[in-house]
């Protein structure tokens, strides 16, 4: 394990809290130490209050902050004197402990202090670092884990048996530390949980963490338990989009809301999912209680969602009666699925949630694989896991968790997504919480947005093979398709019929009509499998009801598409899929309308540019965003009972009216 401390960098952080930020970020950068909000750090600082009185303050990581990106404001300042008094209590229920922490901070706007705050306060060192290091967790999660830890560390660490995080753990650590620490003690190992290091400087505490974890890594290497096998060669995958979408539909039904399913079929995930002993090694339990909130107790093996739900319910029924307060079941859907073909599938209400789960499990694979080589991975008993999963503090967080966005867990595909109306549709759908697959012939689509819920694919929609490949990629990333926005089209220069070349006609038909047939045909099985029914929105044109001279191929293609949509509405209604069209006109904030083109068209009609842009009944300018917002609404509940509608977005056009 690499020590990332850099003297030059560190010199930029003059005081103790700055240095606390610096080494916290160093810890956060190594994902084998902490993942997504895991781990916590603190520093004890003596400072004067408003009245000039000296007091000791514990600055401890606040909840909602990630060590990798934490700032000074991410540390909650809590009065040490009160924390040390709390540590003397015999018992303190966790909700009450949280209240005590919140009411003894010196900054009202600070985040809630970590539930491990009292533990940090009781350790008599200025800097305290805590991680859930993979290597340490690997070793403690074996049958003789404790003995191995003592063999590796001797008396340089105090060993703490597993107790759920909260007041009881803080109290136990304080007692054990007082009784067992020696002059050589530099850390503390919490079995099935993680490791603490400490010191009087930020560097010392950090160096000790790296040294301690490196020792665990070296031990694993010496035992021949370090290498992780990867599937030798991943055969080129057959078409899996139908199977993934079917699985997502079932998982969504079990959860009670649409979910994202991301299928990871890299060599490592496939090798793990295809292990001969997968039914044993994957079904022991999570690597640390910290993971259970997100990943659930166990992954689902194979595609039997109903079987998983039944076993989750019986686990709940076996454990719930022992709880102090009556509990209701959380949604029983799996968060992780291991399948020999689909690899590692992570499930989340958002792409971000699913990505966090797959990253956690990527580390879990390392931990399980190494512990198995070491002699057998052993997780905590189901009861301990249940206590964390249904912890009153976590339950309170879940109850508080705000309303999900309109399209949470849903997936949309937009064609011509790189600019103009298509790009505006991407924005409107992302803003409503959908994951979006954007297709465009312009390669810049791949870098349009760098965010996990957008997948930009360079695709010529007149190429059927390219469309199929794009759907495979999109469904592998997000799990299926709920909304299809057919927007891509070309607008050729004006040309009267008598001089219209056949090649020009065919080209326009090919892009504006034929490609949409292929897209609709290929997307139909996916839309049919959408958990909340599929929706299609056609970006039509004013030219459908009111064609103009010189636009024969464009108008005929759009009229053909309009008729195709009407037939689809009839044919697909039985599958719950609704198809609605909107007919925009004179949308000028798109790539084809440069300043010069606008000026010359306006001049042609004897109008100013402003008059030309608002040349409609309402005298309003129609923008891409107006069209996109209507397209998004057509996918939402407002249009739940409408199909085959055609709505103009043109400011009112006398020829259409």
Cα–Cα distance for residue pair 286/297, rounded to 1 Å: 6
CA triplet 235, 237, 242: central angle to 5 degrees? 160
- Residue whose CB is less far from Zn ion, 194 or 456: 194
Residue 554 appears among annotated catalytic residues: yes
Rounded least distance, CB 202 to Zn ion, Å: 19
Tokens of 397: 């967080």
| Closest of 336, 332, 335, 319 to residue 391, by C-alpha | 319
DSSP string, 6-65: -HHHHHT--SHHHHHHHHHHHHHH-TTT--TT--EEEEEEEEE-TTS-EEEEEEEEBTT-
Least distance (Å) from Zn ion to the CB of residue 132?
6
How remote is the C-alpha of 496 from its chain's centroid? 52
The nearest distance, CB 570 to Zn ion, in angstroms, is: 58
Give the nearest distance from C-beta 490 to Zn ion in angstroms: 57
The beta-strand segments (E) located in 89-193 are: 127-131, 157-160, 187-190
Give 131 or 372: the residue with its C-beta nearer to Zn ion: 131
Q: Closer CB to Zn ion, residue 194 or residue 648? A: 194
Min. distance of Cβ 156 from Zn ion in angstroms?
Answer: 20
Compute the C-alpha angle 177/179/184, nearest 5°.
65
Query: Nearest to Zn ion by Cβ — which residue?
Result: 194
Terminal Cα-to-Cα distance of the chain (whole angstroms): 71
Instruction: Say which residues have a Cβ less than 8 Å from residue 633's Cβ, sequence separation at least 6.
Output: 639
Which residues, numbered 151-210, are part of the site for Zn ion (CB under 5 A)? 194
Length of the chain: 657
* CA–CA separation, 354 and 335 (whole Å): 8
Q: How is 383-399 classified by DSSP, letter by letter?
A: HHHHHHHT-HHHHHHHH
Q: Identify which of residues 74 and 194 has a Cβ nearer to Zn ion in the complex.
A: 194
The β-bridge relationship of strands 336-339 and 300-301 is: parallel
**Cβ atoms 190, 160 nearer than 8 A:** yes
* 8 Å CB contact between 31 and 363: yes
Select from 357, 385, 153 the least CA-distant residue to 284: 385
Cα(489)–Cα(515) distance, integer angstroms: 9
Q: Residue 587 carries which DSSP code?
A: B
CA 82 to chain centre: 38
Q: Which residues pair with 154 in a beta bridge?
A: none
Strands 535-539 and 483-486: parallel
Site for Zn ion in 403-442 (CB under 5 A): none
Whether the CB-CB separation of 487 and 542 falls below 8 Å is answered with no
Catalytic residue, candidates 125, 308, 315, 554:
554
Of residues 194 and 584, the one with the C-beta less far from Zn ion: 194
Partner residues linked to 648 by β-bridges? 583
Shortest separation between residue 116's beta carbon and Zn ion, angstroms: 6
**Closer to Zn ion by Cβ: residue 292 or 552:** 292
* Residue 436: strand pairing partners: 412, 454
Closer by beta carbon to Zn ion, 168 or else 621: 168
Least distance between Zn ion and beta carbon 285 (Å) = 17
Q: How far is the CB of 68 from Zn ion (least distance, A)?
A: 16
Q: 113 or 194: whose CB is closer to Zn ion?
A: 194
Per DSSP, the three-state class of 633 is: helix
User: Considering the complex, what minimum distance in angstroms separates the CB of residue 130 from Zn ion?
Assistant: 6
Q: Which is nearer to Zn ion, 119 or 204 (CB)?
A: 119
Active site amino acids: 554
Applying CB under 5 A, the residues found at the interface with Zn ion are 194
């Amino acid at each position: 394990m690499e020590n990332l401390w850099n003297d030059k960098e560190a010199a930029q952080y003059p005081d103790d809290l700055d240095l606390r930020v610096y080494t916290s970020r160093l810890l956060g950068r190594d994902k084998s130490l902490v993942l997504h909000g895991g781990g916590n750090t603190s520093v004890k600082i003596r400072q004067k209050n408003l009245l000039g009185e000296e007091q000791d303050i514990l600055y401890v990581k606040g909840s909602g902050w990630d060590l990798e990106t934490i700032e000074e404001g991410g540390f909650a300042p809590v009065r040490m004197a009160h924390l040390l008094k709390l540590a003397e209590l015999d018992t303190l229920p966790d909700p009450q402990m949280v209240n005590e922490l919140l009411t003894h901070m010196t900054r009202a706007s600070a985040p809630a202090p970590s539930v491990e705050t009292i533990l940090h306060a009781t350790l008599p060192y200025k800097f305290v670092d805590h991680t859930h290091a993979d290597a340490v967790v690997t070793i403690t999660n074996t049958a003789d884990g404790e003995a191995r830890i003592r063999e590796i560390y001797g008396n340089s660490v105090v060993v703490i048996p597993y107790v759920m995080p909260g007041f009881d753990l803080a109290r136990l650590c304080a007692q054990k530390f007082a009784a067992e620490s020696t002059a050589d003690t530099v850390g503390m190992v919490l079995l099935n949980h993680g490791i603490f290091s400490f010191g009087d400087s930020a560097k010392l505490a950090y160096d000790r963490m790296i040294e301690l974890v490196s020792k665990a890594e070296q031990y694993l290497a010496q035992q021949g338990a370090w290498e992780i096998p990867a599937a030798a060669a991943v055969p080129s995958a057959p078409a899996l989009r139908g199977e993934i979408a079917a699985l997502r539909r079932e998982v969504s039904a079990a959860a009670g809301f649409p979910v994202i399913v991301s299928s990871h079929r890299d060599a490592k995930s496939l090798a793990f999912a295809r292990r001969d002993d997968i039914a044993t090694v994957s079904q022991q339990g999570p690597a640390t209680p910290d993971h259970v909130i997100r990943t659930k107790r166990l992954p689902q093996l194979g595609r039997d969602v109903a079987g998983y739900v039944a076993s989750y319910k019986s686990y709940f029924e076996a454990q719930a009666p022992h709880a102090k307060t009556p509990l209701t079941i959380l949604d029983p859907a799996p968060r992780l699925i291991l399948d020999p073909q689909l690899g590692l599938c992570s499930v989340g209400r958002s792409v971000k949630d699913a990505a966090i789960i797959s990253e956690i499990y990527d580390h879990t694979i390392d931990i399980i694989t190494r512990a198995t080589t070491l002699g057998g991975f052993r997780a905590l008993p189901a009861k301990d896991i249940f206590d964390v999963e249904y912890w009153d503090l976590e339950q309170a967080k879940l109850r508080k968790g705000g309303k999900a966005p309109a399209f949470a867990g849903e997936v949309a595909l937009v064609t011509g997504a790189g600019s103009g109306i298509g790009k505006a549709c991407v924005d409107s759908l992302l803003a409503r919480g959908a994951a979006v697959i954007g297709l465009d012939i312009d390669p810049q689509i791949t870098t349009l947005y760098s965010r996990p819920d957008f997948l930009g694919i360079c695709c010529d929609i007149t190429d059927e093979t390219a469309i199929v490949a794009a759907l495979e990629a999109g469904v592998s990333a997000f799990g299926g398709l709920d909304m299809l926005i057919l927007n891509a089209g070309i607008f050729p220069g004006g040309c009267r019929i008598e001089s219209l070349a056949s090649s020009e006609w065919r080209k326009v038909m090919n892009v504006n009509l034929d490609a949409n047939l292929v897209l609709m045909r290929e997307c139909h099985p996916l839309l049919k499998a959408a958990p909340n029914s599929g929706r299609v929105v056609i970006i039509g044109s004013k030219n459908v009801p009111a064609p103009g001279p010189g636009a024969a191929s464009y108008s005929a293609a759009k009229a053909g598409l309009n008729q195709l949509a009407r037939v689809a509405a009839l044919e697909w209604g039985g599958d719950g899929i609704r198809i609605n069209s909107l007919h925009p006109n004179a949308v000028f904030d798109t790539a084809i309308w440069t300043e010069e083109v606008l000026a010359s068209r306006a001049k042609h009609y004897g109008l100013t540019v402003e008059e030309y842009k608002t040349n409609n009944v309402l005298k309003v300018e129609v923008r891409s965003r107006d069209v996109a917002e209507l397209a998004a609404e057509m996918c939402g509940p407002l249009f739940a009972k409408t199909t085959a509608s055609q709505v103009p977005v043109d400011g009112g056009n006398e020829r259409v009216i």
